[in-house]
A = this chain, B = another copy of it.
């Protein structure tokens, strides 16, 4: 059984007593969260986000550099004015270097030029070593970015996957 069949069954139960169908499109709290795709990260419960309150952007590492398109849409079309950047402990982004990942991909498809060309298009997979350093870097990136509105409140945080606790870095 593919996992999608489990999720389809779970969703039928969720939808059976769904009563939030009238929520508007813009986030009620005018906030956007940028965080990691990691399976141990679950922003709604870990931060107590109510449905309809916040944009949640998730990518490998929770990297702001990879979230600009999303934040422009969030701010300019849907009115968010606060951004929280979360990275987390024990992140997969601390386990490799771009050059190693390129090697893994190429070694799995020897002589396949389409694969080589596609993976070489990524200058960086945005890995990092120090989680507090990467959060700080991303907050500085957003505060200095010409497309992020100057009046935005931007804070940077680390989520600890062992304790469930967040702590503010910047």
Contacts and interface: CB of A to CB of B under 8 A. Distances in A.
Interface of A: 2-4, 6-15, 18, 20-23, 25-32, 37-42, 44-49, 51-60, 66-67, 69-70, 72-74, 76-78, 82, 84, 90, 92-93, 95-96, 101, 104-105, 108-109, 112, 114-115, 117-119, 122, 125-126, 145-147, 153, 155, 157, 161-166, 168
A112 B59 CA distance: 30
27 contacts: A3-B54, A4-B82, A4-B155, A4-B157, A7-B48, A14-B46, A15-B164, A18-B164, A20-B40, A21-B163, A37-B57, A37-B70, A38-B55, A39-B52, A39-B56, A41-B56, A44-B45, A56-B58, A59-B59, A66-B69, A72-B101, A72-B125, A76-B101, A76-B105, A77-B96, A78-B92, A105-B147
Contact of A164 (B14, B72, B78, B157): B14
A10 B53 CA distance: 14
Given A6-B48, A40-B51, 11 more contacts: A7-B49, A8-B168, A11-B165, A14-B164, A22-B162, A39-B52, A42-B49, A72-B125, A105-B147, A115-B146, A117-B146
Contacts of A90: 25
